[in-house]
Amino acid sequence: MSKIVDLKCSCGTIKGKLNVVPGSFFHVQCLCCDCQSFAAHLNNQKNILDEHGGTELLQTYPAYMEITEGQDKMACVELRRKGIYRWHTACCNMPLANTMGSEKVPFVGVPVKLMQFANEQEKMDVLGPVTMKAFGKYAIGEMPADAHPRFPMSYMPKIIGFMLKGKFFKKYKPSPFFNDKGPVVKVNRLS
Ligand SMILES: [Zn+2]
Ligand SMILES: [Zn+2]
């Protein structure tokens, strides 16, 4: 059964909802250097990353995410040319989402930290365990034993299936991040 989860930034200005639909998400942890650079760009590593430099994400379809309050506090940065768009809050410098640079890609990575759960058990019931830890070679300190050094190839067929399904059913829209004219805010390009 799908479940609607409340989203809230750490200061409470930006609020939203995420529809967690079984079979249409990946619960992952990303240890890559870009996610760590993003946290450094926001100057907020302590509140964003875990002790290994990891970020817990739910990767799903943009159509399942909605921002209901605080849209004017949304910001977006592109760390390098043709990189992914990293959406964040301007109020409290927390990551909001990762998307591709095109509104036609049925993909969004939503930080689990935004999700409001009553307790760990409820979180486990809705999201299940982390099923993949990627880019462990960038971990701070020792690489967690259950992490993959890069990206596990065994995951590729699942990702491709997810993308094809998302394309076919047009799950890239409506998106809280793009409208007919492109990104909803001006993208800050650091490159
Ligand atoms: Zn905030
Ligand atoms: Zn990453």
Q: Which of 11-15, 125-129, 151-155, 169-173 has the lowest mean pLDDT?
A: 151-155
Residue 113: exposure state from Cβ atoms within 10 A (0-12, 13-18, ≥19): middle
Q: Is the pLDDT confidence value at 191 over 90?
A: no
Q: How far, in Å, CA of 90 to CA of 163, rounded?
A: 30
Q: Is residue 177's pLDDT more than 80?
A: yes
CA of 161 to the centre of ligand 1 (A): 34
Mean pLDDT of 105-132: 97
Q: 62 CA distance to ligand 1 centroid (A)?
A: 20
pTM (two decimals) = 0.95
Q: How far is the CA of 47 from the centre of ligand 1 (A)?
A: 12
Ligand nearest to the CA of 79: 2
Judged against a pLDDT cut of 90, whether residue 1 lies above it is answered with: no
Nearest ligand for residue 55 CA: 2
- What's residue 82's pLDDT? 87
Q: Where residue 163 falls among pLDDT bands split at 50, 70, 90?
A: very high
* Mean pLDDT, range 107-134, rounded to an integer: 97
For ligand 1, the distance from its centroid to the CA atom of residue 8, given in whole angstroms, is 8
CA max distance for the chain: 45
- Please name which ligand lies nearest the alpha carbon of 11: 1
Q: How far is the CA of 189 from the centre of ligand 2 (A)?
A: 18
Separation of CA 80 and ligand 1 centre (Å):
25
Nearest ligand atom owner, CA of 57: 2
Q: Ligand 2 center to residue 176 CA distance, Å?
A: 21
Between CA 67 and CA 98 the distance in angstroms is 14
109 C-alpha to ligand 2 centroid (Å): 10
**Among all chains, which residue has been given the structure tokens 């760990």?**
120
CA of 170 to the centre of ligand 2 (A): 25
Is pLDDT at 116 greater than 80 in this prediction? yes
Q: How far is the CA of 31 from the centre of ligand 2 (A)?
A: 6
